[in-house]
Amino acid sequence: MLRIHAAELMVVRLPLKFRFETSFGVQTEKIVPLLVLHGDGVQGLSEGTMEFAPMYREETIAGGLHLLREVFLPRILGRTFANPEALEDALGSFRGNRMARAMVEMAAWDLWARMLNVPLGTLLGGRKDSVEVGVSLGIQADEAATVDVVRRHVEQGYRRIKLKIKPGWDVQPVRAVREAFPDIRLTVDANSAYTLADTGRLRALDAFGLTYIEQPLAWDDLVDHATLQGRLATPLCLDESVASAADARKGLALDAGRVINVKVARVGGHAEARRVHDIAQAFGAPVWCGGMLESGVGRAHNIHLSTLPGFTLPGDTSSASRYWETDVVNEPLEAHDGLMPVPTGPGIGVTLNREFVESIAEVQEEFHP
């Protein structure tokens, strides 16, 4: 049984090692909420992917922390659950706020796996001891800089290059990269920056042999994505538009996309992420694990999820050292020749670097029944 005795909530601010520009804007740091659940001498870890402002989805860090303190944690502390999926009975009645709920659910999965002394991926049904990884590259100063940063990461062995694009920065950099690297697996990500009025611009990307175009249209619109997919040869990949297995089913049934980016926190946790994976398999659609610039805690969760058999495209779980001078976990998460080893040991296989985390924590709170 899964008994949750207490919880800790911490928030740290990590400076990025590089300037990361997308259609949303420029990011130079990451605010990282961390949750620790305590049960029977074991700790389960999770990370929140909400942002300071509601740019990617509608959730924010401030709103998520409030819900954790006042609503979600009081409903689970001191209680015993048959397994992590049983937490849905306590939290499933609340609308939206899937990223905040995922913090509780994902920490419970880690806690459960550590209690059973098995890797999280094994509990989820994973079959791999390493996963293919790609890299997500932000908007650069010009085409030459774009080709240069792609070259560096191709030389490091990454098995997919993803370029961030936006209106006015799309065909030119993609053409430059494809001419320089005719054989690499190349994708683009628009983060909802386009509309159907840009169909001609997006259709021009068909010429470059992309594996997919990720989330070109509005985050909450499957219908326009279906219209656009009918006009393009390149598959569309749904990201922001899929917050549940039901969304994945509808998107694939409408042919709004032919690839799914699974972000475990976006869909509310591992149980729902596995259901999204299963729906995609039923439709014959590949999935891959997206990233939200996670620290080592969230990255380890993503790696374990990626061991499921339907994750057939390289994900965003690139080396942690690309992002941080010092990570929040003790164990290095480093890819080699485009493969990320699955952390060994029980649960997510990493431990919190408490000395470092507590030295920089902007929030540090304990909760008891």
- Give me the catalytic one of 30, 128, 162, 263: 263
**Residue found by looking up tokens 């219209």 in the block:** 227
CB atoms within 10 A of CB 368: 10
Residues in contact with 253: Cβ distance below 8 Å, sequence separation at least 6, in sequence order: 283
Q: Which tokens is 112 given?
A: 């459960």
The question of whether 128 is a catalytic residue gets the answer: no
Residues in contact with 111: Cβ distance below 8 Å, sequence separation at least 6, in sequence order: 2, 4, 37, 39, 42, 43, 44, 84, 347
* CB of 313 closer than 8 Å to CB of 259: yes
Q: CA 106, CA 70: separation in Å to the nearest integer?
A: 19
Q: CA 42, CA 29: separation in Å to the nearest integer?
A: 31
**Residue found by looking up tokens 């999926």 in the block:** 85
The question of whether 164 is a catalytic residue gets the answer: yes
Of the CA atoms within 13 Å of residue 144, those in its CB half-sphere come to 0
The size of the chain, in residues, is: 369
Let me know if 229 is exposed, middle or buried by CB neighbors in 10 A (0-12, 13-18, 19+).
Answer: buried
- Give me the catalytic one of 30, 128, 164, 250: 164
In this structure, what are the phi and psi dihedrals at residue 36, rounded to the nearest 5 degrees? -120, 120
Q: CA 361, CA 359: separation in Å to the nearest integer?
A: 6
Query: Which residues lie across from 146 on neighbouring strands?
Result: none
Which are the catalytic amino acids?
Answer: 164, 263
